[in-house]
Each structure stands twice: as C-alpha cells, then as structure tokens.
Amino acid sequence: MGKRCLDKELSKKLGINELILFCIRSIIKSKEKCTFQRLVKESFILFPEIFGFPPFSQWPDSRKLDRPLRTLRKRKLIRGNPRTSFSLTKYGKKIAEETAKTFRQRKLNL
C-alpha cells in the first residue's frame, strides 16, 4: 500500500519543521528506523511540492532537510544525526501528534 501526499494547501500553511516532525513520526509509527535517507523519501512522498528538487520536481531535495534538522535538534525536538538515525523527544512527539491531528481534522472537514 503506497502513501500519497497530504492536503497541499494545509501543508503549505504549516512550517517545514512541523512537516519534518510529522514525517519522523510517520516513519517511527511504521516500525522503521528513521535514517536520513528514509526521512528524505518519506518527506518527498508525503509533501512532494515542498521537498521536491526545484528544476526536477520528480526528485527529492535532501538539502531542504539539512538546516531544519539542525534547528529541530538545537530546539530539543529531535535526537540523532544524519549518520545514525532520528527520534522525537517528548516535546517533538507532542508537536508531531498535533500536526497529525490537524491533517485528520482537515480531511474530515472536506
């Protein structure tokens, strides 16, 4: 079963940090290790218009994750690094759950 991108308009209104936390949550919920490569894939699958490579929209752009991941780690919302894997802190998990709830409620209102 393939995943499909989520509500485009809603995802554009959310910040990139919230989307990345949501993607980390999604990977962990599927019982997978959240490596950098897996996160690049998940981000692109769920939000291709945001994490796509500008001249070639069919490819993901891993550069769009670099600075936000450092910010998330500095703000203590995630743990880990690109060489190992990422996990959510307690507060990061809370934000990811709130983002998931936002997507669920939006879908119900359509």
Q: What is the pLDDT of residue 11?
A: 64
* More confidently predicted of 92 and 10: 92
- Each domain of the chain, given as residue ranges in start order, spans 16-109
Tokens 């894997």: give the residue.
85
In tens, the pLDDT along 50-94 reads: 999 988 889 999 999 999 999 999 999 999 999 999 999 999 999
What is the pLDDT confidence band of residue 109, given thresholds at 50, 70 and 90? very low
Q: How many CB atoms lie within 10 A of CB 32?
A: 12
Domain 16-109 grouped into CATH 1.10.10.10: yes
Which tokens hold the place of 27?
């990977």
* More confidently predicted of 65 and 110: 65
In tens, the pLDDT along 11-54 reads: 667 889 999 999 999 999 999 999 999 999 999 999 998 999 98
Rama region for 53: left / alpha / beta (φ>0; ψ in -120 to 50; rest): beta
> Residue 34 carries which DSSP code?
-
